[in-house]
Structure 1
């Protein structure tokens, strides 16, 4: 089928989706859209595997040694590829996804409205991701308490099988959501209705694929992959404890990685829907806000391969690389280095949290710091003081500092453990440019005035 034939077929199907507001045709938002989409759909799973085997005890280290037991010769052997499949790991991963769905369904939580969509409706979302996180941690700690650290090393032992299962499940989920998008009156995403099936599948054709009140997008962004990331970290700690003779023998570097990342995930799950209160107040403070439901990932982007594989597979298995490395390459930091890294991470967290608090308060009509702002011709208000006066994306700056703090405990013996920082840097620069281009189109001359007042993009006084 040629690209023209494909476009005609897509148009004939879309014409049956009666409301033109829901199904209007769109253009590619990136250069080489379909080709780029096909490349990324192929490259993401391969990169996840490459990071696993490129920093692996099985192949002799990080980076691997080509002569280590001739393991790399196995890449030409079909049996080696069969070893990527693990039936038990697949069943456990599917059970984990089902657990998260069940927790979403039965755990208490407020139902809140998102922003108004193009069809004039507002979706309702159930807020209980943090409760799911606490329940999952409680169950994990219960298993460890009853069975010892060796009882929770299965994620470490079967990690490549879990990777394979996550890729399969996330791709199937993306396919299912793409097929669902052809039902009548489905609300399509702005960028995912181009007429090219590859590109649409990649970015997500439907804005909010749902089964009744179950929304795939918000569920995947906040639950299975994000929480699994921390469970993998915990499994790595248990593996080192098993090897060294107990949790008291686990290196300070691995404890730092686990604590930093667990607090980060806990903060996301809590603060995305609450006011900027300290995490320790979680049991006494439940003042809900809907921050995540006003973000572009929810309001504008479709849910397709990019978000499905990104949330379910890429996130948990690439972000846990530092913890996995420290299992077979232990690093003892000592008091001085531990203190310095803690202070560095705290600085990043402070910037990240305070900047987000300023933005969220301002969005909700509050301005406790009396921050200055620029009023545009359309009536929108742009902050030009506080952290948002130092750079246009100060929360990205805090995120990058924390990413470095998670990598420092691994030392400097390999650049691979700094992959997350480099990936995040590239991602945030790309996102910053996309956001700035959109704002320039939206605000026109007012945006130029704003850029003069806030010249730095991410890092104050640097970039």
Structure 2
């Protein structure tokens, strides 16, 4: 405010008046907080009789006196002006930061209470699904539930913290993934445009990392035997869960602390000011260490590829226990999971347009989901069949295969239509509507049948993964049930975001494409 007043002082705006007026103007300026030196100079000039009063010399001399006075005031007040400028600069930065990173006013996932609940229940269920379904207790939860809690769960979790081999294996594996990302060749791909107008670059070599891991595991199996790979992973399941949860917690704390540094782009849903919720949901949108993008790295590499390795370890365990063979059910499950994993890794760049990357911050929710939930929950069917082998026969095998590839066909062709259309290609001449903002929304093909047809394909595949285990336990169907809830919740979030983004255009679109996930059903 001082700087603003100084800019409109009379000495600047009325410099063409007589010298008397100029001196009065300068005196008026001297009354400002930064003008004491000028005021003293004027008083000395007018009160000392020995000092000759300068005679007016027309407009030129009047202007000179006024300018000199202003110059003296400016020189004397430089430190104060710099202070004001710094304050104004700080306010400008804060205003710009507020505009770029607006305060989050609405909670998701039930707010802080929901965040606390999910943060506790996610690790709990990762452990429970192991201790409630294993060689010792079988997989019937209800009859043995007290025994599981009293004798296995608490003691087993405690022992897992002391499994130093599991810790060494897990952190060695994570280090392997980082090194593979750094040294293996990969294409540089730009992500979607951020709110800043910039686009981040990502190194695409997750599939190369998978190949390196697959070859390394094959070398271990063929040189040291299936029992060695069984002991390496399957034999340390609880300890590996504990190590992965620890990594998830450490990462989420690190990125949360880093998010408070300057020039960070925050997620729109993670800037509530509540520490627990923001830590859980993810405060920073794209946390990075140099060019190393933490979120996209965790999305596909350590957890997704470890899921494959755990499946192979389960198959090795069954191979050893059955004296050199694996069942058709195990072969199906490993095939389905591997196909799904390879497809995701090979099409790594497609995740750059998904909600996890474009919208969500990286916090404990994504971290524990990527590092713990994916490898240790998605692979429940293989672990069950490792100690409970099941033979299906030709007809059941063919039927399950057909169901899985139906789901995969829907999933892959739907994603292919979307990705091609976003990249400016419309090979199938699909119909679309143009919004008022100029964006285009598909209204034919798979995207004309439902707003999320890829989720429908995902559900079919998830169900086909569980079928090879039979119907003796509900635990192997846990993943399918979880996936239904997960994708419905994601669909609701995505539709709400699109409604906010497109407004009346989205309402019009939902009338053209009324089905949410399952065509003509939901």
Q: Work out whether the TM-score is over 0.5.
A: yes
Q: Which runs of 5 or more structure 2 residues have no equivalent in the other structure? A: 1-89
SS at match of 1:112: strand
How far apart are residue 445 of structure 1 and its match?
A: 2.3
What CA deviation, in whole Å up to 9, does each residue of 1:41-64 have, x standing for no partner?
111100111111122213233437
1:96 to 170, 173, 177: 173
Q: Is the 8 A contact 2:450 2:519 kept in 1?
A: yes
For the residues of structure 1 that align with 2:102 and 2:481, how far apart are their CA atoms?
A: 37
How far apart are residue 17 of structure 1 and its match?
A: 10
TM-score normalised according to structure 1 size: 0.89
**Counterpart position of 1:393:** 452
How far apart are residue 218 of structure 1 and its match?
A: 0.4
**Mapping 1:79-228, distance limit 5 Å:** 79-85=155-161, 86-153=163-230, 154-228=232-306
SS at match of 2:192: strand
Give the direction of change, closer, same or farther, for the CA distance of 1:53–1:441 in structure 2 (3 Å limit). same
Q: Does 1:412 align with 2:467?
A: no
SS at match of 2:245: helix
Q: Is the 8 A contact 1:52 1:160 kept in 2?
A: yes
Give the direction of change, closer, same or farther, for the CA distance of 1:462–1:76 in structure 2 (3 Å limit). closer
Higher relative contact order (CA 8 A, sep 6+): 1
How far apart are residue 228 of structure 1 and its match?
A: 0.3
Q: Which has the larger helix fraction?
A: 2
For the residues of structure 1 that align with 2:351 and 2:156, how far apart are their CA atoms?
A: 42
2:429 to 370, 393, 403: 370
1:252 to 328, 331, 334: 328
Q: Does 1:384 align with 2:439?
A: no
Q: Is the 8 A contact 2:252 2:367 kept in 1?
A: yes
How far apart are residue 457 of structure 1 and its match?
A: 0.9
1:39 to 106, 112, 117: 117
SS at match of 1:35: helix
Q: Which runs of 5 or more structure 1 residues have no equivalent in the other structure? A: 1-11, 274-290
Give the direction of change, closer, same or farther, for the CA distance of 1:226–1:194 in structure 2 (3 Å limit). same
Q: Is the 8 A contact 1:17 1:23 kept in 2?
A: no
RMSD of aligned residue pairs (Cα, Å): 1.9
SS at match of 2:269: coil
Q: Does 1:305 align with 2:364?
A: yes
**Mapping 1:315-394, distance limit 5 Å:** 315-394=374-453
How far apart are residue 207 of structure 1 and its match?
A: 0.8
For the residues of structure 1 that align with 2:241 and 2:252, how far apart are their CA atoms?
A: 16
Of structures 1 and 2, the larger Rg is shown by: 2
Q: Is the 8 A contact 1:113 1:123 kept in 2?
A: yes
TM-score normalised according to structure 2 size: 0.79
Give the direction of change, closer, same or farther, for the CA distance of 1:262–1:395 in structure 2 (3 Å limit). same
Give the direction of change, closer, same or farther, for the CA distance of 1:131–1:64 in structure 2 (3 Å limit). farther
**Counterpart position of 1:9:** none
For the residues of structure 1 that align with 2:395 and 2:259, how far apart are their CA atoms?
A: 55
For the residues of structure 1 that align with 2:148 and 2:300, how far apart are their CA atoms?
A: 37
2:483 to 424, 430, 447: 424
For the residues of structure 2 that align with 1:119 and 1:422, how far apart are their CA atoms?
A: 39
**Mapping 1:41-80, distance limit 5 Å:** 41-63=119-141, 66=144, 73-74=150-151, 79-80=155-156
For the residues of structure 2 that align with 1:80 and 1:373, how far apart are their CA atoms?
A: 55
